[in-house]
Structure 1
């Protein structure tokens, strides 16, 4: 058990140094000054060159059992910002699958990298101003209308090519054609 405790503490120290202000250790020292199993939170945002583009965020909560890493920790994704419920469910599934493959190894760093990669892959542009959004919607509608017009014109052209020519002839001309046959 001592070995697991050392591995847990080494992992926590590494995570603290990597995530600094985004890392929170939720454990409390007990009366014997002995640390309990890791219980932490790490806040993640996509890595962006421009701070204003950071419109997504999620916090990974990890509560490790006493026998971690030989047992799987409990995880939650908390305080999501700019992430759909479907994306959150997909990320949670990815993390759960990853934990199953990493039993016996410290895994919080690996889980953290998965969350970070997921956010980086799903980054979206920051919300636009009302005017920019309105102009963007107007342009999309105009493009949609132009495509619809083009499609209608193409269909009309195809119908005209397939139609049998219609001749305007009088009934007496029609009678003459019939008699000649």
Structure 2
């Protein structure tokens, strides 16, 4: 048995020599200092967060609204223009229609091709058309905002000559519309 141990000794020594430090796993791993850096991938920005649609605030019922459906309804109820016998155009030339104001007004013109179509003021109390009991409101073509208030409207006739405007003020007196002043 001694022979077998001696005969296997050279084989064991050969095996130990072939597994020297130069064949270790550590020496076959590339040195971290000599490796090229891994390519940096281009980072993709995360998608922008989608904005929630902004809530549209409810329209202010007390703001001037010249597109209010009540205007078109009121204009459709007016008798025809006495001068041209035409109906009135429901698109206001001027106005301060407001459903919260004691008195507001829009100015409309006759639906005519005439160069100087007739105009008239249509008055409202708290947004409701006042069909009767109003002094004559024909011929006005603007509103004087400087003297108009929540219960008073100042209708203006402008003829294009500076300083020669005519202004007539109307007021809601609690029961109806009254003429309260003339300037011009």
TM-score interval, normalised by the smaller of the two chains: under 0.3
**TM-score when normalising by structure 2:** 0.24
Higher helix fraction (1 or 2): 1
For the pair shown, the structure with the greater C-alpha radius of gyration is: 2
Relative to total residues, which structure has the larger strand share, 1 or 2?
2
Output the TM-score relative to the length of structure 1.
Answer: 0.24
